Amino acid sequence: MLTSHIDLGKFRAGEHLQREWGFGGQRKWRDGLLLLAFFFGGVGAGQFLISTLLIKWPLSALIGLLIVLIGKGAAHILYLGRPSRFWRIFFRPQTSWISRGLIFMTIFVIFGALYLAPDLGFDWLPWSSTSATGIVLWIIAAFASLCMMVYDGFLLMSGRSIPSWHNGIIPLLFAIYSLDSGIAITSTLSALSGKIETVAEATYIDTLVLLAVLASLGVYLLSMAGISPAARLSLRDLLRGGVAPFFIGGTIIAGVVVPLILIYLASSISYLELALNLIAVAGILALLGDLFVRHSILKVGYHLSPI
């Protein structure tokens, strides 16, 4: 635990940073696996949803599914202190968001795979992605993917003694970022594989989501200004402290502002190949922004003083 001695008006000694989740905890890189699990979960769920809903691209949806299954699954299991007991996590969904998250993930992977299977060579199955059964499978998988996008926000929000996490905007922020990442990775893959035929279709939705990300980040920062001394400490760390390079540089500038500029450039130039490359770069930067925002929020989790 790290007690801070910074004078911030009503600051009370005893506020301390959480050091359990995210990089820099007792187990150094291994504690950072939780951050990667949140990141892969958001990216994979977002990619599946966008790939199946907007562009009907089974291969991209499969990549999203694998990001969740392998990336998120492995990161979560390796993060645990006792990985061999992970199966116990299934049994407390009534009160624990970790249990709920694992159940959402399992439903998402199973129903997502069943939905995609006929389009990926398993055409002997008695349903197709457009049949009634296929649509039901998609609805369940899409619902589970939406739950995965918001559950890690609720997970953080449930910590009542960490004001920078116990904030109603967090689940929304994480969900918007998941969508942003889903769009980013899908548009990057589309641009690189030549699947996008017109630049306008890729840039319009990218711009909308990036603006939504910017707005939700603004609301998050404003909401922390007056809550409590611990929240103000978090805000200070985000904007001026050690986390500022990740938050200002990585999240806001590299993750939102630069992609918006690149997308604007892509939509205004007539050379298609260059425009697609700009879209791909913007997508990669937006993905990095997602990783940095989750990292920054985990890093500034100050517990209120226990006394």
Partner 1 sequence: MVIDLRRCIGCGACVMACKVSNGTPPGVFWCRPVWREVGKYPYARIEMIPVSCMQCKDPACQKVCPTGATQIRPDGIVIIDYTKCVGCRYCMIACPYGSRFFLDKERTYFPNYKTPFEEVKYKRFQIGTVTKCDFCIERREVDKLPPACVDVCPTSARYFGDLDDPHSEVSVLIAKERARQLHPEYGTDPSVYYIMG
| Interacting residue ranges for partner 1, rule: CB under 8 A | 1, 12-14, 16, 18, 20-21, 26-27, 79-83, 85-86, 88-89, 91-92, 95-99, 102, 155, 158-162, 301, 303-307
Cβ distance to partner 1 smaller for residue 88 or 240 = 88
Work out the burial of residue 209: count CB atoms within 10 Å of its CB; fewer than 13 is exposed, 13-18 middle, 19 or more buried: buried
Non-local CB neighbours of 116 within 8 Å, separated by 6+ positions: 58, 61, 62, 65, 129
Alpha helices (H) in the chain, listed in sequence order:
33-53, 58-66, 73-79, 97-116, 132-157, 169-193, 199-224, 229-239, 244, 258-268, 272-299
**Beta carbon of residue 275, minimum distance to partner 1 (angstroms, whole number):** 44
How many residues are there in the chain?
A: 307
What is the CA angle 114-119-124, rounded to 5? 75
**Beta carbon of residue 244, minimum distance to partner 1 (angstroms, whole number):** 23
Cβ distance to partner 1 smaller for residue 94 or 270 = 94
**Beta carbon of residue 221, minimum distance to partner 1 (angstroms, whole number):** 22
Maximum C-alpha span of the chain = 69
Cβ distance to partner 1 smaller for residue 18 or 52 = 18
Cβ distance to partner 1 smaller for residue 28 or 126 = 28
**Beta carbon of residue 84, minimum distance to partner 1 (angstroms, whole number):** 9
Radius of gyration (C-alpha) of the chain in whole angstroms: 20
Q: What tokens appear for 243 in the block?
A: 């986390």
**Distance between CA atoms of 291 and 127, rounded to whole angstroms?**
37
**Beta carbon of residue 174, minimum distance to partner 1 (angstroms, whole number):** 16
**Beta carbon of residue 81, minimum distance to partner 1 (angstroms, whole number):** 2
Torsion of CA 18, 305, 216, 41, to 10 degrees: 30
Name the nearest CA neighbour of 34 among 43, 44, 21. Answer: 21
Cβ distance to partner 1 smaller for residue 21 or 177 = 21
Cβ distance to partner 1 smaller for residue 81 or 121 = 81
Q: Are 169 and 219 in contact (CB under 8 A)?
A: yes
**Beta carbon of residue 37, minimum distance to partner 1 (angstroms, whole number):** 11
Cβ distance to partner 1 smaller for residue 89 or 114 = 89
